[in-house]
Amino acid sequence: MDIKNDNRLKFNQGIIDFVEKSKIRKTFVQKTINVTDQDLNKLKIQIEEVYQKILNLEFFEIGKDCQDKDHLHYLLK
Residue ranges per structural domain of the chain = 11-59
At 1-34, the pLDDT tens digits run: 456 666 677 778 999 999 999 888 899 999 999 9
Per-residue pLDDT, averaged over 44-71, amounts to 80
Cα 49 to Cα 31: distance, rounded to the nearest angstrom: 26
At 25-49, the pLDDT tens digits run: 899 999 999 999 899 889 889 999 9
Percent of the chain with pLDDT over 70: 68
pLDDT band at 60 (very low <50, low <70, confident <90, very high): low
